[in-house]
Amino acid sequence: NAGVTQTPKFQVLKTGQSMTLQCAQDMNHNSMYWYRQDPGMGLRLIYYSASEGTTDKGEVPNGYNVSRLNKREFSLRLESAAPSQTSVYFCASNRGAIGYTFGSGTRLTVV
């Protein structure tokens, strides 16, 4: 079982470049999430999608956009990358009372 798959695993961007982080889940989960993890800051929610066709801001949405392409896929886009967006990004999904299943992460460096 693949669970939650994130691509790419690593990425280096120059300031001002754009990119899209991809996430797909094969568990038929309704809800999907994007988090970033920074040292001493824990997991902070960027955006989430409670169901296909809906998206909502989390606690740190600035500089990001998301698309819930279908039930399986939830992408995160950085339109103009900044050094402050250097982080490890995790996608997660869940359904109802079941806890989150996380992907293995994307390590992004913006120089």
Partner 1 sequence: DQQVKQNSPSLSVQEGRISILNCDYTNSMFDYFLWYKKYPAEGPTFLISISSIKDKNEDGRFTVFLNKSAKHLSLHIVPSQPGDSAVYFCAASAEYGNNRLAFGKGNQVVVIP
- Binding site residues, partner 1, CB under 8 A: 4, 30-31, 35, 40-43, 45, 48, 50, 90, 92, 94, 96-97, 99-105
Amino acid at 35: Y
Query: Strands 10-13 and 106-110, how do they pair?
Result: parallel
- By beta-carbon proximity to partner 1, the closer residue of 21 and 92 is 92
- By beta-carbon proximity to partner 1, the closer residue of 17 and 100 is 100
Least distance (Å) from partner 1 to the CB of residue 15?
25
Least distance (Å) from partner 1 to the CB of residue 80?
27
Least distance (Å) from partner 1 to the CB of residue 79?
25
- By beta-carbon proximity to partner 1, the closer residue of 48 and 74 is 48
As a whole number of angstroms, the distance between CA 49 and CA 59 comes to: 14
CA distances from residue 54 to 27, 47, 57 in whole angstroms, order as listed: 18, 11, 11
As a whole number of angstroms, the distance between CA 16 and CA 19 comes to: 10
